[in-house]
Amino acid sequence: MAADLPALGPAELGRALRAAAGRGEAFVPDAEGTGTTLYTAEPEAEFSPRFGPGSRAAHRAGGAAELDIPGIDGLRRDVDTVDDLRLAAAIGLGPRTSALAGPLLAALS
């Protein structure tokens, strides 16, 4: 799982993990539709994570199941830019991230 998911909530992660169960390899694409924020592999499956630019296409080409689950915006919203952080903040940040990001976003507005 990507580490830059400040809007991820436990319910979203739970939904994604339940959807991945029984699928061998599975992944969740990022909000832009080119990367990956979560990759799972069951014990009998080969563990072949592919992160970074083009990872969505690489996971699909490798046979991993793409998880198209409604209501997981926080899981799909990784943060690479200030604009990404603004979009994550609109979804909802945790209290510690919000305390740090709030002043930063206000200063950059």
CA distance 54 to 41: 19
Q: Which residues, 6+ apart, have CB-to-CB distance to 84 below 8 Å?
A: 77, 78
| pLDDT (tens place) for every residue of the chain, 109 residues total | 888 999 999 999 999 999 999 999 999 999 999 999 999 999 999 999 998 889 999 999 999 999 999 999 999 999 999 999 999 999 999 999 999 998 989 998 7
What phi and psi, each to the nearest 5 degrees, are found at residue 25? -110, 140
Confidence (pTM): 0.91
CA distance 24 to 87: 32
Q: Is 61 exposed, middle or buried (0-12, 13-18, 19+ CB in 10 A)?
A: exposed
Q: Where are the domains of the chain?
A: 10-108
What phi and psi, each to the nearest 5 degrees, are found at residue 24? 70, -95
Whole-number pLDDT of residue 109: 78
